[in-house]
Chains A and B, each alone.
Chain A
Amino acid sequence: MTTDGFTPGGIGGSSPSGGSTPRRARRAGGGGGGAALRKISDGAVNVAVKEPGRFFALCLDTFRAIFRWPFQWREFIEQSWFIVSVTVVPTMLVAIPFGGILSLQVGGLIRQLGAQSYTGATAVVAIVREASPLVTSLLVAGAAGSAMCADIGSRKIREEIDAMEVLGINPLHRLVVPRMFACAFIALFLNGLVSVVGLVGGYVFNVMLQNGTPGAYLASFNAIAQLPDLLQAEFKAFVFGITAGLVAAYKGLNAKGGPKGVGDAVNQTVVITFMLLFVENFIISTLYFQFVPSKGM
């Protein structure tokens, strides 16, 4: 793996090794307007073609590195534990009000429609199908991805990654693969956690604040929701984890320019991961509704 884009070119003309005098540097030519235009077009090409291309290349290299023996179990477990430690508490703290707010909003609407006994059913569908993957994505991108990018980025800045390559170790195999799987593995559990905590939150809000009956809330649980809802949510969480791990690795491995470079990389990681996860969420949901018929329809 190299740290920059590479196109093998032809053989350059050689110059004698000694005695050639340095040539005069030419000042950058062209008018100011031309230079600005070129800068903009360079930037556009970079954003539209080069960056996604390099990211895709990294994804392919990482995919190849997955099958290299031995799998770094130790790193995987350490990273999993690390991700758990940075995500569990925030996840719960986000999930409780999320469940509550859903209950409040949907509960009110449902009561107006006269379907009060279905409050539980709507809460389950809303939380399991959409809310928990979304909360998971926020936490995976914001907490796990940023921490991972900061870690890899600071290693890059300290030249640890270069040193690793020189010592004959592939950093994708050693660092990126275990982190990516750790992220996906923990995302599965986070998704379950959000579902449970969100439902408990919804239950508490519904029963205590909206005078719902506990029996009705629980009894209607599986009126609309079905098992594939949970499975698709877990699938989403897995994909989110892989995506967040890859983006964090890509940005971290390409960090440059000292501590500020790492900060920028972390910032970009969070923004890019958010965007990718929301797009993925949309695509997976759409496909899910196409392929899995809703209950009772």
Chain B
Amino acid sequence: MFSIAGALSKASAMEFCSAVGSLGEMIKDLVIDCEKVTFVDSEGLRQLVIAQKLMQKRGSFSLIRVPAVLSEALFRTGLSQKIRVLS
């Protein structure tokens, strides 16, 4: 399980991307704890999509403890139908 905090935005995109990219091939299922996410913009959502595509080739990708700010963005952009959100 992975935990992210603060803004999931253009500023933190590179960090998030490299963190997910550095996960070894051994890791098949990735769960991201989003409880501490305070802000998300289009670049943040794109990074989630990239992570999801990467992990789906290996196993699964899901989000848990999604705050309202992220949940609203996922719903608005239709990504809630594509990215698995665990309750």
Task: Tell whether A and B belong to one assembly.
Answer: no
Binding site for B on A (CB under 8 A): none
Residues of chain B whose beta carbon lies under 8 Å from any beta carbon of chain A: none
